[in-house]
Amino acid sequence: MKLAGTVADTVTISLPPQATEAEVAERIGWLRDSAGGRADEIELNLNLAAVGDAPTRWLAGMGLQPRDLHAAGSPMALWGSTDDMCEQLERRREKLGVSYWSVPAATAGLLAPVIALLGGR
């Protein structure tokens, strides 16, 4: 994180998918501390590991299901209605500063309504 904070324009915060919001916030804090005055210039990326209850091979390969991420309160999972998912993404942007999401192809189609609502915000 120290090197990324000093030179990177975009940083992916890489943690297990069931990591809690507090764990993600801690990593982002390390990055921001290293970045100093340029912290707000760095685009933060998280991998979205689950959308709703749709299982993915990747999670199953780790012995996880979307409900495990939901139970942990992982910021790398979205659940609920389209409006709920929009609110979760907006809150994560406000609280954690995450503005860039990587999405597994298997769940990308499930996000179409979310993207339509968030477009331009």
Q: CA dist 91 to 67, 79, 87, Å?
A: 20, 14, 6
- pLDDT, residue 120, reads 67
Tell me, what DSSP letter sits at residue 75? T
- Cβ neighbour number for residue 60 with a 10 Å cutoff: 10
Q: What is the pLDDT of residues 9-50, one digit of tens each?
A: 999 999 999 999 999 999 999 999 999 999 999 999 999 999
pTM higher than 0.85, yes or no?
yes
Neighbours of 121 (CB within 10 A): 8
| Pairing of the two strands 50-51 and 77-78 | parallel
Tens-digit pLDDT profile for residues 43-84: 999 999 999 998 888 899 999 999 999 999 999 999 999 999
Asked which of 2-6, 13-17, 107-111 is least confident by mean pLDDT, the reply is: 2-6
From residue 103, alpha-carbon distances to 3, 38, 41, 89, 118 in Å are: 25, 27, 23, 13, 15
